[in-house]
Structure 1
Amino acid sequence: MKITKIETFRLHEHANLLWVEVHTDEGQVGLGETFRGAEAVEAYIHAICAPMLLGKDPLQIERHNKTLLRGYLGFNGSGVETRAASALDIALWDIFGKAAQLPLYQLLGGLCHDRMRAYNTCAGINFNSRGEQRRTITTGGTAPRTRYDDQVAFVDYPDELAQSLVEEGFSAMKIWPFDSVALQSDGQYIGARDIRRALEPFDKIRRAVGDNIEIMCEFHSLWNTTAALAIARELGQYNILWAEDPIKMDSPQALADYRRLSGLPVCGSETLATRGTFRDLLAADALDYVMIDLSWCGGISEAKKIAALAEAYQKPIAPHDCTGPVVLMASLHLGLSSPNAIFQEVVRAYLAGFYPELVTVLPELQRGYLLPPAGAGLGTELSAGLKARPDCITRSSGR
């Protein structure tokens, strides 16, 4: 079996997403995906990666992953090189599954879980589109209510939001009410009044549903350690499940200090790439939860190693999804086959919104749990409608 062609696809409407298809001479087509900087990743795939892969055996996945991920460029970050390597690695695993006629979780060791618990990230449908990156809502009760506009809801009516999630079977949710305050001081300072105001959603959620839902707090690495600790002193009363990226995640010592002094469990997340970064944070005793984004960390091959590393430190993993449907499928396969996976992130606004327009199959969500995908490989394909759209930009290398 040989790789004969590599194609990429991106849309103007969802401009942060990039899909890649790897074609073989035996008819299998592997699907991959990555996120942010789509045009730059597209260029890198065709200029650098395609010449390395065309004519090669797609089932030599580990060899290709080492070449693309651990090459001269990009081996110590989550930039263009790593994202390209990640998307291609996912596609090669998809080919492997199709060639073996088995779902990916079986190739990764088989089911460790019969279903995977999901939590809802309370984003709106435009949260991660171009121009809407990390958009912060401070509507003051004036925003129109639309189905699953959860990013508005967690500020304006968090009690109703929590109740609706519990009714749908979710047992955990993630919000980020401190982000707008961080923008005022560039994350250098927060006063008591702003802390109190940002804590209101936590208070309303606990009053509405008590401990029937776990709450994660996302900080997007916007705060310095001093300000983050000031927040933590007050946030602790709400018994949150984790504080995600509370500071810039490039200092193991600073993060370990935060974890020790804050008393809050720390989640290290999609901003981190490759096993070396996670190794350093775990060795510094700086993490409680390991979040992996398969399209940023180095693909399925690298994510499997990170999951095993986390298990060696007796830490659970919770794969990331606030990006695209292909990575969601790949992440679910990884989680189902990893003994230390406890959550799969989902965005119900995406699942009910644009995800169904992009792929043929999505994971089945039942009462807050995702079921194992059926079908070989990832178990999904790009929809024919996506490729036929007038705003779809297609680029091809090979024949």
Structure 2
Amino acid sequence: MPAITCLRTLRLPERPGLVWVELETEDGRVGLGETFRGAAAVETVLHEEIAPWLLGRDATHIEAVSRHLLNPYVGFNGSGAEIRAASAIDIALWDLAGQRQGVPLYVALGGGARVTVPVYNTCAGYAYNSGGVRRDIGAKDASAGPYDDQVAFMRDAGALAESLVAEGYRAMKIWPFDTYAAASGGQTIGLADLKTGLAPFARVRQAVGDRIEVMCELHSLWGTHAAQRICQALEDYGVFWVEDPISKMDDARALRDLRARTRVPVCGSETLAGVRAFRDLLAEDALDVVMLDLAWCGGITEGRKIAALAQAYAKPLAPHDCTGPVTLMAGLHMALHASTAIYQEVVRASLATWYQDLVTHLPVLRDGHALAPEAPGLGTALHPSLRAQPSLVTRESRVQA
């Protein structure tokens, strides 16, 4: 069986949140993984903690590697640097598994439940989440181009919805309440701010009626009282879900209580790691939609278990990506495979620009759906132009001869 001979990390200072992992095996294959946030810390974990244990091990024993890496001695219930590092390793191992079998990753997982996946556009801008600085915007911010959708949903959400419908999108996600959270630490929201935050939803309905679904992202910024007020105010707009409405998304009882007080479906959570956190939320009947991020939750091995749990509780699944192109490809494969998957998140601004500079292949979108990749494994690799960047930071750990 092919042993792992090299663990390589790559990161760009211009994209300080992202780190890529390449695993080389003795049969000459290279598997690709990725994670996001705290890239330098994750890099250190990968080389100082993981590489000495991982190098020389059988790349086919993915479950064994996952169980070891997801149980660090000090214990974690969220997506710390250790879990993010383990997630990137796991994605790379599954990429290798698909390559060895000569099939796309979703086939290696057991096959597809569907041949295409509906997508929704997260209405972010060109540099959202990629520059290391949070971007809170208002209607007066300057637009960086036609796909600066984060400015667009604050300035004219109706025109934005029309442009999305024209491109085939049938769902969109916006977060007009975020800018009001800081004033009270997310504990309260006044009526004036509430009404201003509702305005983009009204404009979408006025412009395109029911031709597009609208999700509301709350980014875990709010206490339960403010979250309840926002959720109840959104009920009249047919919102598809409210995502991560409270600051502690692993608080199953608080989330269950909120869900019982509003008719808006509750979605969560990209912030959670491991199957146990999702088990607790589902057991408390605290979620309507299960969202997971494969670069944060423990990778594809843990992600497929979360997907199976969602299926057991008859809950839809929606993989997250607002971070990097490898995570997007991994999420697409999971959405193709998982029985209850309903959406894959995309950011059209990223797809149209900087994602193209990082990897060789991206999802093909047609009429609001992502098509199944056909190449073995993830179906993408790091772009040669990325490796030529003078600022690229590369580090390798290898099996010693």
Per the normalisation by structure 2, the TM-score is: 0.97
CA contact (8 A) 2:78 2:271 kept: no
Following TM superposition, by how much is the alpha carbon of 1:281 offset from its aligned partner in structure 2, in angstroms?
A: 0.4
Deviations 1:83-114 (A, max 9, x none): 00000000011111111111111111111111
Instruction: Give the match for residue 381 of structure 1.
Output: 381
SS at match of 1:199: helix
Amino acid at match of 1:126: A
Amino acid at match of 2:50: C
Instruction: Give the match for residue 19 of structure 1.
Output: 20
Superposed, which structure 2 residues align to 1:1-399 within 5 Å? 1-133=2-134, 135-140=135-140, 143-144=142-143, 146-248=145-247, 249-399=249-399
SS at match of 2:319: coil
Aligned residues: 397
Superposed CA RMSD in Å reads: 1.0
Deviations 1:233-280 (A, max 9, x none): 211110100010110213101000000002210000211111000000
Amino acid at match of 2:318: A
In the alignment, the residues of structure 2 paired with residue 95 and residue 131 of structure 1 have an alpha-carbon distance, to the nearest angstrom, of 30
> After TM superposition, where is structure 1 displaced by more than 3 Å over at least 4 residues in a row?
none
Residue identity over aligned pairs, in percent, reads 56
Deviations 1:33-78 (A, max 9, x none): 0000000000000001001110110110000000101231454220
Deviations 1:179-206 (A, max 9, x none): 0011111111111111011111001000
SS at match of 1:374: coil
Amino acid at match of 1:59: T
CA contact (8 A) 2:120 2:344 kept: yes
In the alignment, the residues of structure 2 paired with residue 177 and residue 252 of structure 1 have an alpha-carbon distance, to the nearest angstrom, of 25
Amino acid at match of 2:66: N
In the alignment, the residues of structure 2 paired with residue 147 and residue 247 of structure 1 have an alpha-carbon distance, to the nearest angstrom, of 32
CA contact (8 A) 1:74 1:81 kept: no
Following TM superposition, by how much is the alpha carbon of 1:227 offset from its aligned partner in structure 2, in angstroms?
A: 1.1
Amino acid at match of 1:204: R
Following TM superposition, by how much is the alpha carbon of 1:339 offset from its aligned partner in structure 2, in angstroms?
A: 1.0
SS at match of 2:59: coil
In the alignment, the residues of structure 2 paired with residue 149 and residue 182 of structure 1 have an alpha-carbon distance, to the nearest angstrom, of 22
SS at match of 1:5: strand
In the alignment, the residues of structure 2 paired with residue 93 and residue 74 of structure 1 have an alpha-carbon distance, to the nearest angstrom, of 25
Following TM superposition, by how much is the alpha carbon of 1:132 offset from its aligned partner in structure 2, in angstroms?
A: 2.6
In the alignment, the residues of structure 2 paired with residue 230 and residue 2 of structure 1 have an alpha-carbon distance, to the nearest angstrom, of 55
In the alignment, the residues of structure 1 paired with residue 396 and residue 371 of structure 2 have an alpha-carbon distance, to the nearest angstrom, of 34
Amino acid at match of 2:173: K
Amino acid at match of 1:226: H
**For structure 1, which runs of at least 5 residues remain unmatched after alignment?**
none
Amino acid at match of 1:175: I
In the alignment, the residues of structure 1 paired with residue 280 and residue 123 of structure 2 have an alpha-carbon distance, to the nearest angstrom, of 30
Amino acid at match of 1:379: G
CA contact (8 A) 2:18 2:39 kept: yes
In the alignment, the residues of structure 2 paired with residue 131 and residue 355 of structure 1 have an alpha-carbon distance, to the nearest angstrom, of 16
Per the normalisation by structure 1, the TM-score is: 0.98
In the alignment, the residues of structure 2 paired with residue 108 and residue 55 of structure 1 have an alpha-carbon distance, to the nearest angstrom, of 24
CA contact (8 A) 1:74 1:82 kept: no
Following TM superposition, by how much is the alpha carbon of 1:304 offset from its aligned partner in structure 2, in angstroms?
A: 0.1
In the alignment, the residues of structure 2 paired with residue 191 and residue 315 of structure 1 have an alpha-carbon distance, to the nearest angstrom, of 33
Amino acid at match of 2:326: V
CA contact (8 A) 1:124 1:349 kept: yes
CA contact (8 A) 1:126 1:132 kept: no
Deviations 1:156-201 (A, max 9, x none): 0111100000011111000000000111111111111110111110
CA contact (8 A) 1:73 1:81 kept: no
